[in-house]
Amino acid sequence: MEKLERTTIYASLGLRPGISELLWAFRKKYTLEEFPVYLDDHPFQLYERIKAEMKNGMKTADLVLMPHYMLLRLKSEGLLTTHDSRQADAFPKKFYDKSMNWFAAGVTFMSLAYNSKLLQEEDLPATLDDFSSPKWRGSLGLQSLTASRVGNLGAQYLGFIKKVVGDKKWSRFLKSLAHQNRPKAFDCIDHLLQGLVDGEFRLALTVYSLAYFREKTAGSPVASFEIDDAPRMLTFTSAGLIRNAEENASAHKFLEFLLTEDAQKIIASIRGIAPTRPGVLTTYPFEARYSSRDAFHPDESDLEAMPKVMETFRTMKLP
């Protein structure tokens, strides 16, 4: 009897609401495949786990499904292997790596958000300079820019805003956060959203769509918004195969499954993530419009610029 390989998947916590359906759909489609092993955690924890397991010769993930910046990091460190997808041509070229190391499984976004019980739309800032107003003292929150142990999408988003507005306006904004309007900082965006819902502050600067929609779907008083100076940052949740899985046929099969119309329809039902396959639509209002013509961040140039951005945050003693 042929020995069946088993796929081990490490994925971000935000995907938990829909991952079970994806796993069962894969098992139903490929009845002779073993049911995949699945573990979820924060991006930094998954990265450190993979590195430690590989260093010590232990079994690790075959496939990862995480925020795009982490796939770019894994690729840059030579930790991913290629997958020659038969479906790549069905997707816009920017939705997969030209060397076939990663594939965008879904679109997510970073955004501003507010507590709709404590603020009205007419009270929201219209420009980045408006955040310097004394009215925002004690009213802002964000994911820690310099000390988060779980991920740094918040830092990526503020780095993206620098690209939008330029150095001078961005510096004024950061100075207000470093001094008179210093925000309350949270390690995790989920905790940031909980603080917003609980009224610890009125406006969050670094909200991730998967966390945001969990609260919104639960009926919490949260609303996302964007301004010209701080538009929503479109990004991906991406999938790739860890280097050790190069010969694991089951892992290659699962990655290929993620790109199918059936799997993309399941992804379209997970609140906070939208499908990447053209023609498949979310089953709910996603709040961010996107197409293949849009820019998605971070890209490799953004990651190259991040050390300088992080040094600016540390120099200004931002949380």
Number of domains observed in the structure of the chain: 2
Domain of residue 78: give its range: 8-107+234-288
* Distance separating alpha carbons of residues 101 and 170, to the nearest angstrom: 34
Q: What pLDDT sits at residue 162?
A: 97
Q: Is the pLDDT of residue 3 over 80?
A: no
Residue 21: pLDDT band by 50, 70, 90 thresholds? very high
* 119 and 50 co-located in one domain: no
What pLDDT is stored for residue 2 in this prediction?
A: 44
Residues 112 and 216 both lie in one domain: yes
Region 10-24: what's the mean pLDDT?
90
Q: Is residue 124 part of a domain?
A: yes
Give the mean pLDDT of 22-48: 92
pLDDT at 101 over 80: yes
Judge whether 2 lies within some domain.
no
How many C-alpha atoms does 174 have within 13 Å on its Cβ side?
Answer: 24
pTM over 0.85: yes
| Distance in angstroms (rounded) separating the CA atoms of residues 137 and 317 | 17
Contacts of 94 (CB under 8 A, 6+ apart): 292, 296
- In sequence order, the 6+-apart residues with CB closer than 8 A to the CB of 130 are none
pLDDT (mean) for 55-81: 97
Cα angle at 73 between 230 and 6, to 5 degrees?
120
Residue 44 maps to a domain = yes
CATH code assigned at 183: 3.40.190.10
Is residue 73 domain-resident? Answer: yes
Q: Are residues 30 and 68 in the same domain?
A: yes
Please tell me the predicted confidence (pLDDT) of residue 117.
98
CB 244 within 8 A of CB 50: no
Instruction: Give 246-305 pLDDT, tens digit per residue.
Output: 999 999 999 999 999 999 999 999 999 999 999 999 999 999 999 999 999 999 999 999
- Looking at residue 1, what is its pLDDT? 34
Angle (nearest 5°) at CA 57 between 56 and 58: 95
Instruction: Give the pLDDT confidence score for residue 16 in this predicted structure.
Output: 85
In this structure, are 186 and 133 located in the same domain? yes
Per-residue confidence (pLDDT) for residue 4, from 0 to 100: 60
pLDDT in tens, 139-180: 999 999 999 999 999 999 999 999 999 999 999 999 999 999
Please report the pLDDT score of residue 15 as a whole number.
87
- pLDDT surpassing 50 at residue 200: yes
Q: Residue 1 domain-assigned?
A: no
Give the residue-averaged pLDDT of 55-68. Answer: 97
Segment 313-319 mean pLDDT: 97
Q: How far apart are the first and last CA of the chain?
A: 58
